[in-house]
Amino acid sequence: MGIELVKEKYSGGINTVEIGKAGRGPVKIGGETTLPFLFEEGQMPHPPIAGLEVFDCEPVDWPEPLKKAWGDSLKDPVKWAQRCVSEFGAKILCVRMQSIHPDWGGRPSDEAVATLKAMAQAVKVPLVVLGCGDDDKDNEALPKASQALKGENCLFGIATQDNYKTLTATCLADGHSIIADSPIDINIAKQLNILISDMGFDPKRIAMHPTTASLGYGMEYVYSIMERARLAAFIGDKMLSMPLALFVGQEAWKVKEAKELGEKQGVNWETATSVAMLQAGADLLVVRHPETARLVTKYIDMIMRKR
Amino acid sequence: MIIIGELINGMYKALAKAIMDREIDVIQHLAVEQAQAGAKALDVNVGPYSKDPKEDMKWLVESIQSVTDVSLCLDSTKADVIEEGLKIAKSRAIINSTDADEEKMNTIFRLAKKYKTQVIALTMDKSGVPNTKEKRLELAATIVAKAMDMGVNTEDIYLDPIVLPVNVAQAQGLEVLEAIREFRLLSDPPPNMVVGLSNVSQGTKARSLINRTFLTMAVANGLNAAIIDPLDKDLMDALIAAELIMNKQIYCDSFLDAYRKK
Cα–Cα distance for residue pair B6/B44, rounded to 1 Å: 8
Tell whether ipTM is more than 0.90: no
The pLDDT tens digits for B220-234 are: 999 999 999 999 999
Contact B250 A240 (CB under 8 A): yes
At residue A60, φ and ψ (nearest 5 deg) are -65, -25
Contact B258 A228 (CB under 8 A): no
How far apart are the CA of A190 and the nearest CA of chain B, in angstroms?
6
pLDDT at B49 over 70: yes
pLDDT at B252 over 80: yes
Q: What is the dihedral of CA A248, A150, A243, A45, to 10 degrees?
A: -110
Q: CA B6 from chain center: how many Å?
A: 8
How far apart are the CA of A187 and the nearest CA of chain B, in angstroms?
4
Chain A residue with Cα closest to B259: A237
Q: Is A232 on the interface with B (CB under 8 A)?
A: yes
Q: What pLDDT sits at residue A3?
A: 85
At residue B98, φ and ψ (nearest 5 deg) are -110, 170
The pLDDT tens digits for A132-181 are: 999 999 999 999 999 999 999 999 999 999 999 999 999 999 999 999 99
Q: What pLDDT sits at residue A1?
A: 67
Question: Which residues numbered 185-204 in A keep a CB inside 8 Å of some CB on B?
Answer: 186-191, 194-195, 197-198
Q: Which of B155, B240, B244, B250 best tests the A interface by mutation, with the highest count of A CBs <10 A?
A: B250
Which positions in chain B touch A231 (Cβ < 8 Å)? none
- Other C-beta atoms lying within 10 Å of the C-beta of residue A215: 23
Contact A194 B249 (CB under 8 A): no
Q: Is B258 on the interface with A (CB under 8 A)?
A: yes
Cα–Cα distance for residue pair B231/A228, rounded to 1 Å: 32
> What confidence category does residue B261 fall into, taking pLDDT thresholds of 50, 70 and 90?
confident
> Residue B125 belongs to a domain with what CATH number?
3.20.20.20
The pLDDT tens digits for B2-39 are: 999 999 999 999 999 999 999 999 999 999 999 999 99
Strand A93-96 relative to strand A127-130, pairing: parallel
Which positions in chain B touch A229 (Cβ < 8 Å)? 250
Domain ranges of chain A: 16-304
CA separation (Å) from B249 to A215, A280, A292, B255, B259?
Answer: 30, 20, 37, 9, 8
Strand A16-21 relative to strand A24-30, pairing: antiparallel
The tens-digit pLDDT sequence of chain A (307 residues) is 688 888 988 999 999 999 999 999 999 999 999 999 999 999 999 999 999 999 999 999 999 999 999 999 999 999 999 999 999 999 999 999 999 999 999 999 999 999 999 999 999 999 999 999 999 999 999 999 999 999 999 999 999 999 999 999 999 999 999 999 999 999 999 999 999 999 999 999 999 999 999 999 999 999 999 999 999 999 999 999 999 999 999 999 999 999 999 999 999 999 999 999 999 999 999 999 999 999 999 999 999 986 4
> Residue range B120-148: average pLDDT?
96
Contact B261 A188 (CB under 8 A): no
Class of domain A16-304: alpha beta
Query: Who wins on pLDDT, B184 or A249?
Result: A249
Which positions in chain A touch B251 (Cβ < 8 Å)? 187, 190
Cα–Cα distance for residue pair A139/A131, rounded to 1 Å: 9
Q: Is B131 on the interface with A (CB under 8 A)?
A: no
Q: Which of A191, A204, A225, A240 best tests the B interface by mutation, with the highest count of B CBs <10 A?
A: A191
Question: Which residues numbered 234-253 in B keep a CB inside 8 Å of some CB on A?
Answer: 249-253
Domains: count for chain B: 1
Cα–Cα distance for residue pair B43/B95, rounded to 1 Å: 9
CA separation (Å) from B102 to A288, B127, B249?
Answer: 71, 13, 39
Question: Which residues numbered 202-231 in A keep a CB inside 8 Å of some CB on B?
Answer: 228-229
- Other C-beta atoms lying within 10 Å of the C-beta of residue B149: 10
Count of pairs with CB atoms under 8 A, one residue in A, one in B? 37
Chain B residue with Cα closest to A187: B252
Contact B262 A191 (CB under 8 A): no
| Listed residue (A154, A99, A104) closest to A127, CA to CA | A154
Domain of residue B113 covers: 2-261
Give the one of A186, A190, A228 whose C-beta lies nearest to B258's C-beta: A190
Contact A240 B254 (CB under 8 A): no
Contact A186 B250 (CB under 8 A): yes
The pLDDT tens digits for B68-118 are: 999 999 999 999 999 999 999 999 999 999 999 999 999 999 999 999 999
Which positions in chain B touch A188 (Cβ < 8 Å)? 252
Chain B residue with Cα closest to A203: B261
Give the one of A228, A229, A238 whose C-beta lies nearest to B261's C-beta: A238
How far apart are the CA of A243 and the nearest CA of chain B, in angstroms?
17
How far apart are the CA of B237 and the nearest CA of chain A, in angstroms?
17
Summary count for chain B: helices (H), strands (E): 10, 8
Q: Is B189 on the interface with A (CB under 8 A)?
A: no
Which positions in chain A touch B261 (Cβ < 8 Å)? 194, 197, 238-239
Chain B residue with Cα closest to A237: B262
Which positions in chain B touch A239 (Cβ < 8 Å)? 252, 258, 261
How far apart are the CA of A12 and the nearest CA of chain B, in angstroms?
11
Mean pLDDT across chain B: 96
Angle at A177 between CA A171 and CA A183, to 5 degrees: 100
